[in-house]
Structure 1
Amino acid sequence: MKLLHTSDWHVGKTLKGRSRLDEQKAVLAEIVELAVEHEVDAVLVAGDVYENASPTAEAQKLVITTLLRLARAGIEVVAIAGNHDHGPTFEAYRPLMRQAGIRLIGSPRSAEQGGVLRFRARSTGEEAVLATLPFLSQRYAVRAAEVITQTPAQNVGAYDQMIRDVLANLTAGFTDQTVNLAMAHLTVLGGRLGGGEREAQSIMEYSVPAAIFPIDAHYVALGHLHRRQSVPAAAPVHYSGAPLAVDFGEQDNTNVVCLIEVAPDTPARVTDLPIRSGRRLRTVTGTVEQLVADPTAYGEDFLRVRVTQAAYAGMREHLLEALPNALEIRLDPQFSVSPHTDAARRTPAAARTPAELFADYCASAAVDDPRLNRLFDELHDDLTSGRA
């Protein structure tokens, strides 16, 4: 059978106040096209479908439309909630979406209560067993472990042991006659952050060893880390990564979805399918003259600009006029503090003229613009001469 693994869509995410809904729409349309082109039997969406727990109507419409397009193409569609999603809302829509051929899992469930899904591949008739584990915060991990494993909370160990216990219940039905799959939204030790994750829910106590996944799993589809990667383990454990860079920290990541071809008696073969939609994020560095020399070279890329010279009045406006896709403009740290600032602070303010005080202020703000000094002198003359 053929499967498509994707995650971390973050629909509704803005970047420095700039909406990216059009890009997200193009990326999701490309994912649908790839799923149809490769005639996959199922699409697995491993969490963080939305950017936040209260997505806008436009974001919800885009996600629902995408999932429906996949289902109408005869594809089995399964999506779990990530740490950015609102699990209870997934659960509320679960019965309705099931009628449309879409399976949403918002909260951890035992195998008997729907945490394990079974479906047959339309292409081969092979049966798949899919263990699903949405994101579990530490706050709810104990409760989930109690509900699913019947283990008293006082006997449950650390977070990774709770996850291990839950997965043991969910994967107990794996057999050598089925394609055994697991899908979860979590951080596995050895995985590398992609650059845009919430670190508080990605590190330390939220990390679990890859050994928690059983050796008889044909494929483990993970979400949460935005970098495409596989994690060494007894079973094939893969992060598909985000299909669109969500922040400049991810500008060098490779955006893909994973095509998996597998059978009960055949190891999974994984192929990365590039996602080409969406605008590139790029960091550019130089003096103002260098940065604006050839604006067309940046194309439609969104830019993070680092300026390697002292600031001057109107510099930001100058750059934005020449580079309308610049979303962030900052001085390189070596130009952000004047070497004269500390010396000036050691001289009592009363011993310096107003012009010197203003010059000190400009130096502390890393602004070097003689025009400002001249304007200050004119204003000071007008005020002290009584002409103002």
Structure 2
Amino acid sequence: MRVLHTADWHLGKTLEGRDRQQEQIEVMEEICQIAEDEKIDLVLIAGDIYQSVNPPAWAEQLFYETIHRLSDFGRRGVVVISGNHDHPERIRAAHPLADKQGIYLFGLPTDQVQPTLIKGNVSQIRVIQSGIGWFELYHPLTDENAMIFTLPYPSEARLKQLLSDQVDLREIRSSYSAFIQNWFLSQKSIHQSHLISIAMSHIFVQGGSTTDSEVEIQVGGAYTVEANHLPDYVQYMALGHLHRAQNIKGAPTFTRYAGSPLAYSFSEANHKKSVTILELKPRELVQFKEIFLTSGKPLIQKAIRGGIDELEHWIHDEANIPLWIDLTLHVEHPLSIEEIQRIRKMHEGLIHIKVITPEIKEAINTFEKQTKEPKELFIRFYQQKMGASPRKEVIDLFLELFHQEGKEEDET
């Protein structure tokens, strides 16, 4: 069975107020074309379909048109789960009709599809059996059955239960991760090893690499999951939430974030966006590849050190294409309003213009020297990589190693 994994579409999202509707339309068309070219049998969409719980009408239309085309009138399966940006009822609303087209929509962890009663067209996909959080899908074109476990964004509110009555962040995180582990363990008895097996969720797994465009699942990273708490009985764990496509180390089975199809912040500048293509057979290791996407304007960060004249030459010679630009412009004196307006007109993709004068540069350098102590930098790095603050013992160990390294450098 050939599977396409994608996530984090964020339909309706803008870039600092700039409309990106056309880019999102184009990337949806590209994903649909890839599904056809790669002869995909099953599409997994792992949450954050929309940017907000109340998306614009065009974003909803684009979503429904996309999954309709992906399903190919029921000849290709499409499984969709909600993310933290989505309203679960909005995602699930169309399921009575969508199910009949091989499209399965899950908004809440308690949602389930019903087995198909009337087989109808023999070339259409159908549900053999199902329960809360899982279903068995028969695909006539591959003559294979797939067991799919679905856990849409599992917040306490959507689970309708308090997972911990503690106030300590570590206790909350531990309770949440243990809940996810137990949820998957409760499904293990349903698993059948002779079937293709896939799990899907929209969660933040510790060790995943984040970007600025993700809104944290909970302030402080309380809603994080340890990699070894993910299921060990499936062949593939399809994740959504992190916008950088990446495999997760330390997970008991092949686990991957598909990433977003477009760059949604300048922290993703120069990231290559992709969809993940998988080849699955029962009892065999998963084969996978990335197909990189070409739709969407590139996001770039550019520093110009030679003033406005150099900026004009760069835009004329190198940036005369559709781009979104985060510009740092070094000049000898503060710019007037007229000069700022002139720069704005040079390229419609200019989003940020940070003007650096010698005085500002000196102030920045002084501030960085005063604030960027090794301890602070380590804590910030650890939080970004692990989704949590380091324990005191970890900080002390880092400082010990740091000072030891500094001593060795002084001796040499």
Same fold, judged at TM 0.5 (above):
yes
- In the alignment, what sits opposite 2:312? 292
Report the residue type matching 1:220 in the other structure: M
Which residue in 2 is equivalent to 1:206?
223
| 1:318 and 2:335 are equivalent in the alignment | no
Aligned partner of 2:35 in structure 1 is 35
Q: Which moved more, 1:307-316 or 1:258-267?
A: 307-316
How far is 1:96 from its partner? 2.8
1:82 aligned residue: 83
Q: Deviations over 1:196-220 (max 9, x none)?
A: 1003538621110111222221000
The C-alpha deviation readout for 1:82-109, integer Å capped at 9, x for no partner, is 0011012223222232233311100002
Q: Is the 8 A contact 2:323 2:349 kept in 1?
A: yes
SS of the residue 1:19 aligns to: coil
Matched residue of 1:58: which SS?
A: helix
> CA–CA distance in 1 between the matches of 2:60 and 2:357?
41
Query: 2:105: which partner in 1?
Result: 104
Q: Where do residues 117-266 of structure 1 align in structure 2 (5 Å cutoff)?
A: 117-141=135-159, 143=161, 158-201=175-218, 204-232=221-249, 233-266=251-284
Residue 305 (1) aligns with residue 327 (2): yes
- Superposed CA deviations along residues 12-52 of structure 1, whole A, max 9, x for unmatched, are 00111111010001101110111111111100000001111
Contact 2:4 2:275 (C-alpha < 8 Å) held by counterparts: yes
* Root-mean-square deviation over aligned CA pairs: 2.3
Matched to 2:96, the amino acid is P
Distance in 2 (CA, whole Å) between partners of 1:335 and 1:86 is: 48
Deviation per residue, 1:104-123 (Å, 9 max, x gap): 10000277644212212344
DSSP 3-state at the match of 2:263: coil
Alignment gaps of 5+ in structure 1: 147-155, 340-388
Is there any run of 5+ residues in structure 2 with no aligned partner, and where? 113-129, 165-172, 364-412
In structure 2, C-alpha distance between the alignment counterparts of 1:108 and 1:303, rounded to whole Å: 40
Q: Give aligned pairs, total.
A: 330
- Identical residues among aligned pairs (%): 30
TM-score w.r.t. length of structure 2: 0.75
State the distance in 1 between where 2:219 and 2:83 align. 12
What amino acid is the match of 1:176? Answer: S
CA displacement at 1:334 relative to structure 2: 5.9
Q: 188-197 or 307-316, which moves further after superposition?
A: 307-316
Q: Contact 1:46–1:222 (CA<8 Å) still a contact in 2?
A: yes
SS of aligned partner of 1:130? strand
Instruction: Name the CA shift for 1:182/1:317 in 2 (closer, same or farther; >3 Å).
Output: same
Shift of 1:265: 2.1
Are residues 103 and 202 of structure 1, via their aligned partners in 2, closer, same or farther at CA, if it must alter by over 3 Å?
Answer: farther
The structural deviation recorded for 1:289 is 1.9
Q: Quick check: 2:48–2:84 contact (8 Å CA) kept in 1?
A: yes
SS in 2 for 1:18: coil
- 1:362-373 aligned within 5 A: none
In the TM superposition, what is the alpha-carbon distance from 1:5 to its structure 2 partner? 0.2
2:334–2:357 contact (8 Å) kept in structure 1: no
- Cα offsets for 1:197-252 (capped at 9, x unmatched): 00353862111011122222100000000001001122000001111101111112
Distance 2:329 2:276 in 1: 38
Output aligned runs, 1:317-336, within 5 Å. Answer: 317-332=341-356, 335-336=359-360
TM-score normalised by L of structure 1: 0.80
What whole-Å deviation, never above 9, does each CA across 1:243-276 have from its counterpart, x for those lacking one? 1101111112220000000111210011001111
CA distance in 1, matches of 2:254, 2:220: 22
The structural deviation recorded for 1:132 is 0.5
Q: One-letter code of the match for 1:132?
A: T
* Greater Rg by CA: 1
Pick closer, same or farther for the CA change 1:337–1:68 going to 2, 3 Å. same
